[in-house]
A = this chain, B = another copy of it.
Amino acid sequence: MVASLHSFKHDIFRALLIEARKDAQLTQVQLAEKLNIPQSFVSKYERGERRLDFTEFIEIADLLGIDTSLFIANYKIKITGYLTPIN
């Protein structure tokens, strides 16, 4: 493990985040304002220049109206090709 910034998994993760922001009809600037962070921060994590830890992800997910269960299910499907059992 030890996530390398530019792994396949991160690519999937970032794509899902970008999609979620667009679904929420927010620009990076608008999202940044809601989060009280600079726009470059949003740009960075969307491009994989900076990682998001768990707590940050939850915070952003809430603001974007992301259903985390669904989000994670989609993430796992895209990662593995199928839905991982249990979780």
A61 and chain B: residue at smallest CB distance: B87
Q: Which residues of A contact B (CB under 8 A)?
A: 1-3, 7, 9-10, 13, 35-37, 41, 51-62, 65-69, 72, 75-76, 84, 86-87
The main secondary structure of chain A at its interface with chain B is helix
Q: Please, how many angstroms separate the alpha-carbon atoms of A12 and B78 in the complex?
A: 29
State how many angstroms separate the Cβ of A28 from the closest Cβ of chain B. Answer: 14
Contact A54 B54 (CB under 8 A): yes
Are B72 and A87 in touch, CB under 8 angstroms? no
**CA A10 – CA B55 in complex, angstroms?**
7
Q: Is the CB of A13 within 8 A of B52?
A: no
Per the bound structure, the CA–CA distance linking A51 and B54 in Å amounts to 8
